[in-house]
Amino acid sequence: EAAVTQSPRSKVAVTGGKVTLSCHQTNNHDYMYWYRQDTGHGLRLIHYSYVADSTEKGDIPDGYKASRPSQENFSLILELASLSQTAVYFCASSGTFSNERLFFGHGTKLSVL
């Protein structure tokens, strides 16, 4: 089974602070994604990447940056965390084509106070 590991599993941040969420995959997958899930809702795409050193905007990129320093690692950065960014964040990876089966991490529960 392919493995996607997120860290931290949960985090409490202060408004205006910087938050970095990390994701590591051992699947040798080209595609990596960051999704956000709000209570009672589905997942929305924030940023994704299909190659190291390159990232693409998803559907809700405002307030977020992403970094893909290597094929295995993909980070989500909140430079100035806001209350509205309280959510659960999921990292995922998939193979060469972005419509292949997704493998998800456990999720990171972020609370901004």
Partner 1 sequence: GMPVEQNPPALSLYEGADSGLRCNFSTTMKSVQWFQQNHRGRLITLFYLAQGTKENGRLKSTFNSKERYSTLHIKDAQLEDSGTYFCAAYQGGRALIFGTGTTVSVSP
Which residues bind to partner 1, rule: CB under 8 A?
A: 31, 33, 35, 41-45, 48, 56, 58-59, 88, 90, 98-104, 106-107, 109
Q: CB-wise, 38 or 79, nearer to partner 1?
A: 38
**Residue from 80, 102, 111 nearest 34 by CA:** 102
Q: Is the peptide bond before 69 cis (omega within 30 degrees of 0)?
A: no
CB of 31 to partner 1, least distance (A): 8
Nearest to partner 1 of 18, 106 (CB atom): 106
Residues contacting residue 23 through CB under 8 Å, at least 6 positions apart: 4, 5, 6, 32, 34, 73, 74, 75, 76, 91, 105
Shortest gap between Cβ of 36 and partner 1 (angstroms)? 11
**Which CB, 18 or 111, lies closer to partner 1?**
111
